């Protein structure tokens, strides 16, 4: 199995045209002609993840968060990023990241949240036009179905109304996360909910415009919390790690179903760096 074949499937799961303009997505390190036997997914490339990849003779790491993310003037062991890149490249390990493209895909992270909480007919919090998506699509991508609008974040109506605290308990239970932090009245009745995984504080305004009663995200700054409070939008803060990590396990499963002859798994050494979640 060549790396390019796997990249093709990844670009179908998470079309790169959906990535935010500031993002760095796609194949970031590697030779497209190289042979792939072992694939590991993770949320973030860390020293522990690199050590696991080397020990397990991984050929490809599919990481949610890009490495590198920002342009590099030099790659040396003087920095943590440089050392990880040198270790991975030295062991012939490729890196692929879909990041915000996976966040926004029709079966991406935010849509998976909708499915976990039983929301049907969801829509993006911020839509992108069909013309824009076709202009920015790469040549090796197949277009996503237009049965559902494309865009960032998702929102929809709960099958049954819930209190903010009750919804938070449901969300943490389905992903095995510690208790979430809340902004707003814990007993507020939530009928319509928005999702913006990771650092989703910038979606508070969009959630309000879409008529959401609350937004589920990973983390938000103090001032974003104040903004949400002023707009009457409840926040459920799961932690960046827990709001996204489960979807890299889903990614491993999707790849395994398509490539049953390959060894594919989600990192077993990756943990939340924040103690207590």
Tell me the per-residue pLDDT of 112-133, one tens digit each, with 9 for 90 and over: 999 999 998 999 999 875 544 4
Give φ, ψ of 96 to 5 degrees.
Answer: -130, 140
H or E, element range at 17: none
Q: Residue 113 CA to chain centroid, in angstroms?
A: 11
pLDDT tens digit string along 20-64?
999 999 999 999 999 999 999 999 999 999 999 999 999 999 999
- pLDDT band of residue 69 (cuts 50, 70, 90) is very high
Q: Please give the average per-residue pLDDT across 96-111, as a whole number.
A: 96
Number of Cβ within 10 Å of residue 191's Cβ equals: 13
| Angstrom distance (rounded) from CA 254 to CA 234 | 33
What is the predicted pLDDT for the residue at 139? 41
Confidence of residue 149 (pLDDT cuts 50, 70, 90): confident
Other C-beta atoms lying within 10 Å of the C-beta of residue 30 = 21
What value does the mean pLDDT take over residues 253-266? 97
Q: Full-prediction pTM beyond 0.75?
A: yes
Q: What CA–CA distance (Å, rounded) separates 273 from 242? A: 11
- pLDDT number for residue 46: 97
What helix, strand, coil percent values describe the chain, rounded to 5? 40, 20, 40
| Domains along the chain with CATH numbers | 3-98+243-264 (3.40.1390.30), 103-240 (3.40.1390.30)
What's the rounded Cα separation, in Å, for the pair 261 and 255?
10
């Amino acid at each position: 199995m060549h790396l390019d074949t796997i990249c093709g499937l990844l670009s179908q799961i998470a079309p790169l045209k959906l990535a935010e303009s500031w993002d760095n997505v796609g194949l970031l390190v590697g030779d497209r002609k190289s042979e792939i036997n072992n694939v590991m997914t993770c949320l973030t490339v860390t020293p522990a993840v690199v050590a696991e990849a080397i020990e397990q003779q991984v050929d490809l790491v599919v990481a949610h968060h890009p490495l590198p993310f920002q342009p590099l003037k030099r790659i040396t062991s003087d920095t943590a990023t440089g050392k990880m890149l040198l270790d991975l490249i030295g062991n012939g390990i490729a890196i692929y990241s879909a990041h915000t493209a996976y966040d926004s895909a029709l079966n991406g992270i935010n849509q998976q949240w909708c499915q976990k909480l039983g929301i049907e007919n969801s829509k993006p919090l911020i839509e992108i036009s069909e013309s824009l998506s076709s202009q920015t699509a790469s040549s090796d991508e197949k277009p996503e179905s237009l049965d559902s609008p494309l865009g960032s974040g998702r929102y929809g109506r709960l099958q049954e109304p819930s209190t903010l605290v009750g919804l938070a308990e449901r969300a943490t239970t389905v992903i095995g996360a510690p208790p979430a932090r809340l902004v707003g009245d814990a007993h507020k009745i939530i009928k319509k909910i928005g999702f913006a995984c990771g650092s989703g504080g910038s979606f508070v305004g969009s959630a309000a415009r879409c008529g959401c009663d609350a937004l589920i995200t990973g983390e938000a700054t103090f001032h974003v919390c104040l903004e949400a409070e002023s707009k009457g939008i409840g926040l459920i803060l799961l932690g960046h790690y827990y709001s996204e990590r489960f979807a890299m396990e889903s990614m491993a499963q999707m790849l395994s179903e398509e490539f049953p002859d390959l060894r594919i798994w989600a990192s077993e050494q990756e943990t939340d760096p924040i103690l207590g979640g």
